[in-house]
Amino acid sequence: MAIKKDKLNEDVLSELYRKYEDSSVSLNAFKSYCTGLIEMSKQPEHPVKRDILRATNKSIIVFKTNNFIMAGHGLGVVK
């Protein structure tokens, strides 16, 4: 199943996980990348952005960002 045409597509998800797994990407750089993704979406001020900024590790950030992207395609839940 392909993700429908959107700014936050499969390529963005692939890049998200590449940055998550890259140990040279710092926590703050990863936060900036993920909040940038939220800002380029159709809901740039979604509350998940605040959750990402308060997160203390990359696992929480990737979880929140992934759920936000998938929910935008009707495939997940944002909590």
pLDDT, residue 74, reads 55
Report the predicted TM-score, pTM, of the whole model to 2 decimal places: 0.82
For residue 55, give its domain range. Answer: 10-72
2 within a domain of the structure (yes/no):
no
- Does a structural domain hold residue 60? yes
Task: Say what the pLDDT of residue 70 is.
Answer: 82
Q: Beta-carbon neighbour count of residue 63 at 10 Å?
A: 16
Q: Cβ distance 72 to 78 under 8 Å?
A: no
Terminal CA-to-CA distance of the chain, rounded, Å? 23
Question: For residue 46, is it within any domain?
Answer: yes
23, part of any domain: yes
5 in a domain, yes or no?
no
Q: Total domain count for the chain?
A: 1
CA separation for the pair 25, 29 (Å, rounded):
6
Q: 29: closest CA among 18, 42, 40?
A: 18
For every one of its 79 residues, what pLDDT tens digit does the chain have, with 9 covering 90 and above? 344 446 677 888 899 999 999 999 999 999 999 999 989 888 888 899 999 999 999 999 999 998 888 876 555 555 5
